Structure 1
Amino acid sequence: MSVWDAIVGQKPVVEQLKAIAGGDPKAIAQSWLICGPPGSGRSNVAKAFAAALESPDHGLNDEPTKATRDILAGTHPDVTVLSTNKVTIGIDEVRDLIGISEQMPGTAPWRIIIIEDVDRMLERTTNVLLKEIEEPAEHTIWMLCAPSAQDVLPTIRSRTRIVNLAVPSNKAVAEFLMRNVNPTLPDKERFTEHVAARAARLAEGHIGVARLYATNERVMTDRDELVVGVLNLTRASDAVLLAGNLIDNAKGQAEADVERQAARAEADFRRLNGLGEKDRIPPNLRGAYNQIAKKDELKRQATRRSRDVLDRALNSVASVYRDVAVVQNNAEDAVGLINLENRAAIAELSIRLTRDGAVRRLDEIATARRRLAGNGNPTLLFEALFCALIP
């Protein structure tokens, strides 16, 4: 499988980048801005492009080279990826990247720096990066990722070659799940084509969320319960109960996710150090082992993951009123419904609400998203939102 086979629904971009990677190295732009909505795979495109530039086969062979495997695994010495769970990317992080960018590559033709979510940079941090983007070191390529070119300062935007990604179609996402995700699962955990198609539809083009829905029954069930709860809102008490359930579910999902991640990290640590599952950790390894099991850090990770779950919940709630608007405007045949399983309840709600009422509720959801991003109290935020959604 070539490095490009994991890129979903971006055929024109893939063909463009393939041609560039296999062309004259002297003609390759050294500063790139890869734009696409959340879940469109912009960081995956950046890594695939990096692999195509660094690998002798330009990422085309079905059997990936060592360079390609290392880049996709995040272990290649000449490819650096900056990703962050924080609200902003710090100026010190960027200065460290600039120091790395000025070093000659050790084993590959290029030193490549990938910055995910460059839109999280404050203006003063961006200004530190600007000179390097404008005049990169001779053997360095910068790849910046953002939701859209408008999310990046004009000074950066004007100095990069922009690649715009599309929202992958439901069909493309479902095919990706069946082809690339299903075969990696144990037999008892594999999903059907129906589950893949439903996961793709509910994810609205977000590849990571589609994968989550297809492989995690609890996450899908929590979403179903949330949509039904929104459609059945009639009293303030309903809103309070629904908000409480959502917060509890988000916390449970986040804690389970962090526990799985911690367990994988521990298993990897034991494997790399030749230890069995129940072997005691030797004294000389205890310090390194404790670093992967820090309770405070795990708690912070759970809090961040909980916010991610709540943000995803806002997308699910918004999809209800998007579907209501589709029905009200007789556009179902043209664009379809996201929540097909709830069509009868959505049709009923579309009669009870005016068109302005549906739009106003989408505005309320957008306001809640801004408050959540501003670190607002989740319980109060969702109680207020659900009260505002009552017909």
Structure 2
Amino acid sequence: MSVWDEVVGQQPTVELLRRAVRSARGDGAGMTHAWLFTGPPGSGRSVAARAFAAALLCDEDEAGCGTCHSCHTVLTGSHADVTTLRTEGVIISRKQALELLPLAQRRPSVGRWRVILVEDADRLNDYSGNAMLKAIEEPTARTVWLLCAPSADDVLVTIRSRCRHVGLRTPPPQAVADLLVRRDGVDPQMAAFAARAAQSHIGMARRLATDEQARIRRREVLAVPLKVHGVGEAVMHAAALLETAKEEAEAGTAERDEAERADLLRALGADPSSRTQPPHVRTQLTALTKHQKRRATRFLGDMVDRSLLDLLSLYRDVLLLHADPEAELINAEIRPDVERLAGQLSPAKTVRCMDAIRETRERIGTTNSTPLLALEAMTLQLRADA
């Protein structure tokens, strides 16, 4: 077992990080105080960053053993010297950034390094980025910053210029399938389907492989283009797309929310079965509920985006069939439907549909567009007669 086991399909990156860990332990060069991990969604950039943190803090001579106390606590998010900044909002606020600065100045309490992991560095704005910049520019001797973002261009230039860049790629589907079989005990055939359907997004592949309802919801999304003919149908199916995303978001957060509530009650010494809680417990529960609602809003946006990516994969398959009728498809399990859609759409119309989906992703992801209105505008353009 190793902390690197779940860094899938990234062997050059793993080797680079291993060398840095050896350097941090006094063997060679390659360690620096600030790192920027980039890669497309599902590539595992935060997984790689956390594995790196675990290896730096590992208790054993073979750094990154994956079994010692330090490795376990880093990977589970409970190590005293590892602070993780996530945001459930559109931006990381200046207040959130400033809260990290005193931590960055402290020496490690139990391990070799103090690690600050920022999972959404692309959400830093000028105010929060400038607040964080000073700490990154003038690091303490035993503090390491690990920043994650989809691409280097998404990060403020003043910050990325002070970080060592680690680029991750989309892992091969077979590598993702192998992980699902090894880690989650998934049937190899199901794992292969899930990895292909998720386009190598590790988290989504696991969800598709282990949750039948997730597979059903994905099929409902892929069925939309064949059902949209008139304006009324376009509006109706836009609402259906949003409802499907809401169901997926609720399914993806309900179990986690309940576990967090139970952990909080346990930590406060409260009785989970009690109908009323003491004031200090109610205050903590209210704060947790607000946090979970913010996270649910962001997760809904992620699920809408995931549905749009699934639709893009469908039109990608249609375009591929126009070029090669025997081509291997992402959505091979519904090949007859893809062939039927290819018979209805010219290559030019297919490209226009893909452009409409991309524009919708941008509207929802980077502006304040109402998701339903953006989806309605998109489905109107997906009509075969549009």
Please report the TM-score for the alignment, with normalisation by the length of structure 1: 0.89
Find the residue that maps to 2:4 and give its secondary structure.
helix
Corresponding residue number in structure 1 for 2:241: 246
What root-mean-square deviation, in Å, do the aligned CA atoms of Structure 1 and Structure 2 show? 2.4
**1:136 and 2:139 aligned:** yes
Corresponding residue number in structure 2 for 1:18: 18
Q: What is the CA–CA distance in structure 1 between the aligned matches of 2:275 and 2:298, rounded to whole Å?
A: 31
Corresponding residue number in structure 1 for 2:229: 234
Q: What is the CA–CA distance in structure 1 between the aligned matches of 2:37 and 2:326, rounded to whole Å?
A: 32
Corresponding residue number in structure 2 for 1:370: 362
Find the residue that maps to 1:375 and give its secondary structure.
coil
Note the alpha carbon deviations across 1:330-389, whole angstroms, 9 max, x for none: 2864xx311112222222333432322222211111111122122322222212211101
Find the residue that maps to 1:109 and give its secondary structure.
coil
User: Alpha-carbon deviation of 1:200?
Assistant: 0.8
Find the residue that maps to 1:5 and give its secondary structure.
coil
Corresponding residue number in structure 1 for 2:87: 84
Q: Which is worse superposed, 200-209 or 125-134?
A: 125-134
Q: What is the CA–CA distance in structure 2 between the aligned matches of 1:210 and 1:223, rounded to whole Å?
A: 12
Counterpart pick for 2:374 among 368, 373, 381: 381
**1:344 and 2:336 aligned:** yes
Provide the identity percentage.
39
What letter is aligned with 2:375? F
User: Alpha-carbon deviation of 1:248?
Assistant: 2.0
What letter is aligned with 1:168? P
What letter is aligned with 2:371? P
Structure 1 residues 289 and 212 mapped into 2: Cα distance closer, same or farther (>3 Å)?
A: same
Find the residue that maps to 2:5 and give its secondary structure.
helix
Find the residue that maps to 1:3 and give its secondary structure.
coil
Please report the TM-score for the alignment, with normalisation by the length of structure 2: 0.90
Structure 1 residues 117 and 280 mapped into 2: Cα distance closer, same or farther (>3 Å)?
A: same
Q: Which is worse superposed, 57-66 or 144-153?
A: 57-66
1:36/1:42 contact within 8 Å kept: yes
Find the residue that maps to 2:147 and give its secondary structure.
strand
**1:176 and 2:146 aligned:** no
**1:255 and 2:247 aligned:** no
Note the alpha carbon deviations across 1:43-89, whole angstroms, 9 max, x for none: 11111001111112266565611111111111111111111111111
User: Alpha-carbon deviation of 1:263?
Assistant: 1.8
Counterpart pick for 1:354 among 346, 349, 367: 346
User: Alpha-carbon deviation of 1:327?
Assistant: 1.6
Corresponding residue number in structure 2 for 1:148: 151
Corresponding residue number in structure 2 for 1:186: none
Corresponding residue number in structure 2 for 1:312: 306
Corresponding residue number in structure 1 for 2:207: 212
User: Alpha-carbon deviation of 1:25?
Assistant: 4.0
Corresponding residue number in structure 2 for 1:225: 220
What letter is aligned with 1:57? E
Q: What is the CA–CA distance in structure 1 between the aligned matches of 2:309 and 2:188, rounded to whole Å?
A: 24
Alignment of 1:278-297 (within 5 A): 278=273, 283=278, 286-287=281-282, 290-291=285-286, 294=289
What is the total number of aligned residue pairs between the two structures?
A: 380
What letter is aligned with 2:41? P
Corresponding residue number in structure 2 for 1:321: 315
Structure 1 residues 254 and 61 mapped into 2: Cα distance closer, same or farther (>3 Å)?
A: closer
User: Alpha-carbon deviation of 1:279?
Assistant: 5.3
Find the residue that maps to 2:141 and give its secondary structure.
coil
Counterpart pick for 1:330 among 286, 303, 324: 324
Corresponding residue number in structure 1 for 2:102: 99
Find the residue that maps to 2:112 and give its secondary structure.
coil
1:8/1:168 contact within 8 Å kept: yes
User: Alpha-carbon deviation of 1:155?
Assistant: 2.6
Structure 1 residues 104 and 302 mapped into 2: Cα distance closer, same or farther (>3 Å)?
A: closer
What letter is aligned with 1:217? E
**1:265 and 2:260 aligned:** yes
Q: What is the CA–CA distance in structure 2 between the aligned matches of 1:382 and 1:324, rounded to whole Å?
A: 21
Find the residue that maps to 2:108 and give its secondary structure.
coil
Find the residue that maps to 1:21 and give its secondary structure.
helix
What letter is aligned with 1:117? D
Q: What is the CA–CA distance in structure 1 between the aligned matches of 2:82 and 2:36, rounded to whole Å?
A: 16
1:91/1:128 contact within 8 Å kept: yes
- Structure 2, gaps ≥5 residues long: none
Structure 1 residues 272 and 159 mapped into 2: Cα distance closer, same or farther (>3 Å)?
A: closer
Q: What is the CA–CA distance in structure 1 between the aligned matches of 2:351 and 2:97, rounded to whole Å?
A: 40
1:251/1:302 contact within 8 Å kept: no
1:7/1:44 contact within 8 Å kept: yes
Q: What is the CA–CA distance in structure 2 between the aligned matches of 1:205 and 1:223, rounded to whole Å?
A: 15
What letter is aligned with 2:144? I
Q: What is the CA–CA distance in structure 1 between the aligned matches of 2:145 and 2:376, rounded to whole Å?
A: 44
Structure 1 residues 274 and 59 mapped into 2: Cα distance closer, same or farther (>3 Å)?
A: farther
Q: Which is worse superposed, 49-58 or 256-265?
A: 256-265
1:52/1:58 contact within 8 Å kept: no
User: Alpha-carbon deviation of 1:271?
Assistant: 4.5
Q: What is the CA–CA distance in structure 2 between the aligned matches of 1:241 and 1:24, rounded to whole Å?
A: 57
